[in-house]
């Protein structure tokens, strides 16, 4: 069974790399060869269908809705009873993404809802639903859609590590720029960010220092992040990564601060001489 799994993974990985290089024909041709392997594990079947669906989605950007309908047909023709709840939920999320692309909004919302109800800790389902709601919100400017998008992104952050959740928190902060006079979106963040670990708000702490206005409750939550993890703020690599989010004056200040701290460090020769003198 391990040999079958290794052969299937080699075919799937080759198709994935071909798709990332925009060689969709090579990807589909490679994935079609997986049927020559007898008794393919169910995990490999899922990954093969997922790469095939993503390939049709990538082709739709250049060719039109024909590829979207073909990808949607692949998902609907898949017998889901052989897959686990996690795999089935991801299929529903992919189906919702295709339905949103073809303009079937109600069916897309139903598919996304079925995905998160089936597996409520699936990050991809929450993220895809949030992306769809964000697109609709920026087009229609309805506050209930913005609240729903923020809720989806915050749910995705609850079950993701700190580095991968940054893009979702960045979208939450960007959606707050569309807030109304009643602070509807800010209240949604205060309400649904309870389950997000404090360490994931550390990259947003630098945004608070730049002067971006938030609600008092959300500002207090941002201030609690460095208090819970003070050692992360003293890490030079984290500080350097956060420079890209700073305004130019703050970026120059932090750069000179890092440079002066580095220049103040003793050299290796000085440390060696101090060790020799102390030993004498």
- Tokens of residue 185, six digits: 């979106």
Please state, in angstroms and rounded to a whole number, the distance separating the CA atoms of residues 78 and 163: 34
Please state, in angstroms and rounded to a whole number, the distance separating the CA atoms of residues 93 and 91: 5
Please state, in angstroms and rounded to a whole number, the distance separating the CA atoms of residues 167 and 163: 8
> Mean pLDDT for each consecutive 10-residue tract of the chain (280 residues)?
79 89 88 83 87 86 77 86 88 90 88 90 89 90 90 86 80 84 83 76 55 56 58 48 47 49 47 41
Judging by beta carbons within 10 Å of its beta carbon (0-12, 13-18, 19+), is residue 233 exposed, middle or buried? middle
Judging by beta carbons within 10 Å of its beta carbon (0-12, 13-18, 19+), is residue 242 exposed, middle or buried? buried
CA torsion angle 44 50 52 55 (round to 10): -140
CA torsion angle 117 88 23 16 (round to 10): 100
Please state, in angstroms and rounded to a whole number, the distance separating the CA atoms of residues 139 and 224: 34
Distance of CA 215 to the CA centre of its chain: 25
- Residue 236 has a pLDDT of 46
Whether 68 and 57 have beta carbons less than 8 Å apart is answered as: yes
- Ordered DSSP codes for 131-168: HHHHHHHHHH--HHHHHHHHHHHHHHHHTS-TTTTHHH
- Tokens of residue 138, six digits: 């920026």
Please state, in angstroms and rounded to a whole number, the distance separating the CA atoms of residues 122 and 196: 15
Please state, in angstroms and rounded to a whole number, the distance separating the CA atoms of residues 38 and 225: 52
Count of beta carbons in the 10 Å neighbourhood of residue 137: 21
Count of beta carbons in the 10 Å neighbourhood of residue 217: 14
Residue with tokens 């990538």: 58
CA atoms within 13 A on the CB side of 23: 11
Rg (CA), the chain: 24
Distance of CA 67 to the CA centre of its chain: 25
Please state, in angstroms and rounded to a whole number, the distance separating the CA atoms of residues 69 and 177: 36
């Amino acid at each position: 069974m391990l040999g079958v799994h290794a052969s299937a993974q080699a075919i799937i990985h080759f198709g994935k790399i071909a798709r990332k290089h925009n060689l969709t024909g090579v990807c589909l041709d490679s994935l079609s060869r997986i049927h020559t392997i007898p008794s393919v594990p169910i995990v490999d079947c899922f990954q093969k269908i997922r790469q095939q669906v993503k390939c049709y989605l990538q082709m739709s950007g250049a060719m039109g809705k024909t590829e979207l309908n073909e990808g949607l047909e692949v998902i609907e023709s898949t017998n889901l009873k052989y897959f686990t709840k996690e795999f089935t939920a991801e299929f529903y999320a992919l189906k919702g993404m295709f339905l949103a692309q073809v303009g079937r909004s109600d069916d897309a919302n139903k598919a996304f809802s079925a995905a998160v109800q089936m597996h409520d800790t699936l990050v991809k389902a929450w993220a895809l639903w949030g992306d769809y709601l964000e697109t609709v919100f920026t087009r229609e400017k309805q506050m209930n859609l913005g609240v729903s998008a923020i809720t989806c992104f915050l749910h995705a952050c609850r079950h993701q590590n700190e580095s991968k959740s940054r893009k979702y928190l960045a979208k939450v902060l960007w959606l707050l720029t569309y807030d109304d006079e009643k602070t509807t979106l800010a209240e949604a963040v205060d309400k649904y960010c309870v389950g997000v670990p404090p360490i994931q708000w550390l990259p947003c702490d630098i945004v608070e220092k730049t002067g971006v206005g938030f609600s008092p409750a959300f500002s207090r939550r941002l201030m609690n992040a460095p208090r819970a993890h003070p050692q992360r703020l003293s890490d030079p690599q984290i500080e350097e990564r956060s420079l890209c989010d700073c305004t130019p004056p703050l970026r120059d200040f932090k750069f000179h601060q890092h440079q002066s701290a580095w220049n103040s460090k003793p050299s290796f020769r000085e440390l060696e001489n101090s060790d020799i003198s102390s030993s004498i």
